[in-house]
Structure 1
Amino acid sequence: MKKYIVDIVLIIIGSFIFSAGINYFAIPHELGEGGVTGITMDLYYLFQWSPGVTNLILNAILLVIGYKLLDKWVTYYTIISIACTSFFLHVTEGMGAALGETILGTIFAGVFIGVGVGLILRTGGTTGGSAILARLTNKYFGWSISYSLLLFDSLVVFGSYFIIGAEKVMYTIVSLYIATKIIDYIIEGLNSRKAVTIISQYADQIATQVNEKMNRGVTIFSARGNYTKEAKEVLYIVINKQELLGLKKLVHKIDDEAFVVIHDARDVFGKGFTFPSTQEASKAN
């Protein structure tokens, strides 16, 4: 229950940040946006229709179409997200003002929208609209969520050319790219760690020191050198980035000829790190 409450709080926060990105930065600089939000912004530019109201109506239609193809918790979280986003879009409407430089508005719009959408997607929900389509393509075709969003959003953005013009479309593409990178980082990179492979003739000593001094587990693989034909033990360790320097010093002190390979681990969960998302946990139960 605590996990669900945390997820809902994150959805509310993400919805507010996303809405702030639209009303404080995107609309004052007459930028476009992808998906349903982009359509609501175009309708606002043309007819002054409230983005919050049109966002709610259009997303509700898409949700009715796609809810049977989404997992139960994705659907619940998406309903909460759509309601919160529509509410915050309506409440913050007209509060933003254009900055001195359009590029500043573009950058901040991308950052705010990326953080907001990323937090929502991180919980297992969606912001509705193209995010529903992105979730479906991720589920059935294995497409990256962030780049699926970029594809669907780009179709809407290019259609906005006839409303906001070529220059603002180009600024919008920059904003979308920034948002996409941030979404990708939040979904896959918040739990980034370093995976370290060590080949040393003093493998047991290194493993013992890592266990005792760093309180980290070590996996030992048996291997054989192709050139020397000698049997070797290979250590595999996953650590926080902050622990990397300490591990390097530890290994160098024991064996300054050890062969060490450091890998980026995009997402790590489990004992000692983090745990699966609510969606995954609910499936496990």
Structure 2
Amino acid sequence: MFMVEAKRIIIVIFGALLNALSLNLFLIGANVYASGFTGAAQILSSVFKDFIGINISTGILLLLLNIPVLLVGWFKVGKGFTLYSIVSVFFSSLFLQFIPVVALSNDIILNAVFGGVIGGLGMGLTLKIGASTGGMDIVAMILSRLKDKPIGIYFLVMNSVIIALAGILYLPENALYTLLTLYVSTRVIDAIHTRHEKVTAMIVTLKTDELQQAIHRKMVRGITILPAKGAYTKADKSLMYLVITRYELYDLEKIISEVDPDAFTNIVETAGVYGFFRRD
């Protein structure tokens, strides 16, 4: 267990390093912006520096923006999930503070693309092991717990504001290059980890009660249990059907491997959910 958690923390720190490299080596020098709270911190840092004359680093602002969200996440989402977010935010801010801002290229397209690739790689690796990068990930998790509605609109609104400000404060081209960065980073995350807000898990198991209890100890999700029979063995089994958010996928896989490693599990993308998928 210790080695599993240690590996998880190392991956979170590595993801934070990639995020910082994406910003300080490519995006910040080109006035191209990342998504979510990171992009918001970039915008604020640019405004303070270029329009007010106060030099506040992106790392410090990223940390300040995340503090209230992390506090809410600690009580509303869960200490384990939020703890990894705290590690990610802390090391992202630390790396941003100490890695120098260097323009490796004067080509803004190269900066936008490589910044998006490296940033997407860092976020994708973090999401894949069930952690988050804080910011909008925490907000999305809170909203997914409170409302059974699509949360993508919140990402869209915030990123739209960042894109618009990039074009208004600087040049319209900066907004287009920011849009390119967001597209590239999203595609990289898609290649590493699902970006779908909800996925459906179908689990065929002989340990129905144990698995149901283990899932409900960790997640507030409804489960439908159907009778099933093995075609070859003719053994009576159960099919457990549940819908979860992408943030909970790592925890579900971990629970299944611990309770019933012989279970057969199929994870499919969920286009939409009608009605509640929480356990009341």
The TM-score normalised by the length of structure 2 is 0.63
1:156 counterpart SS class = helix
Question: Aligned partners of 1:74 and 1:133: how far apart in 2?
Answer: 12
- Aligned partner letter, 1:81: S
Matched, 1:30 2:44: no
Aligned residues: 200
Structure 1 residue 155: Cα displacement: 2.9
Partner of 1:153: 159
Offset, 1:127: 1.3
1:127 aligned partner:
133
Question: Alignment partner of 1:106: what SS?
Answer: helix
Distance 2:251 2:191 in 1: 19
The share of aligned pairs that are identical, in percent, is 27
Q: How big is the shift at 1:150?
A: 4.9
Letter in 1 for 2:94: F
Q: Distance in 2 between matches of 1:115 and 1:108?
A: 10
Distance in 1, matches of 2:181 and 2:73, equals 27
Q: Determine if the alignment matches structure 1 residue 78 to structure 2 residue 85.
A: yes
Alignment-mate amino acid for residue 277 of structure 1? Y
Indicate whether 1:281 and 2:254 are aligned.
yes
Provide, for residues 216-259 of structure 1, a one-character-per-residue CA deviation record: whole Å limited to 9, x for no partner. Answer: xxx858xxxxxxxxxxxxxxxxxxxxxxxxxxxxxxxxxxxxxx
Once the two structures are TM-superposed, the CA of residue 77 in structure 1 deviates from its matched residue by: 0.5
1:118 matched to 2:124? The reply is: yes
Name the structure 2 match of 1:180.
186
Is the 2:144–2:151 Cα contact (8 Å) retained in structure 1? yes
C-alpha contact (below 8 Å) 1:7/1:123 kept by paired residues: yes
Counterpart-to-counterpart distance in 1, 2:116 and 2:70? 25
**Partner residue of 2:7?**
6
CA 1:8–1:106: 2 relative to 1, 3 Å: same
Residues of 1 paired with 2:150 and 2:15: CA distance? 23
Are the equivalent residues in 1 in contact too, given 2:73–2:82 (CA < 8 A)?
Answer: no
> Which SS does the other structure have where 2:56 is aligned?
coil
Q: 1:281: how far off?
A: 2.9
Find the partner of 2:70 among 58, 63, 66.
63
Q: Which amino acid aligns with 1:63?
A: L
The Cα RMSD (Å) is 2.7
1:213 corresponding residue in structure 2: none
Deviation at 1:148, TM superposition (A): 6.0
Task: Report the Cα offset of residue 158 of structure 1.
Answer: 2.0
Q: Where does the alignment leave 5 or more consecutive residues of structure 1 unmatched?
A: 190-218, 222-275
Give CA deviations for 1:15-46 in whole Å, capped at 9, x if unaligned: 00011001100011111222221122122222
Whole-Å separation in 2 of the counterparts to 1:163 and 1:279: 44
**TM-superposed deviation, 1:4:** 0.7
Which whole-Å CA distance do the structure 2 matches of 1:10 and 1:137 have between them? Answer: 26
**Per-residue deviation at 1:7?**
0.6
- Look up the match of 2:56: 49
Structure 2: distance between partners of 1:72 and 1:24 = 33
- Provide the C-alpha distance between the structure 2 equivalents of 1:138 and 1:19, rounded to a whole number of angstroms: 28
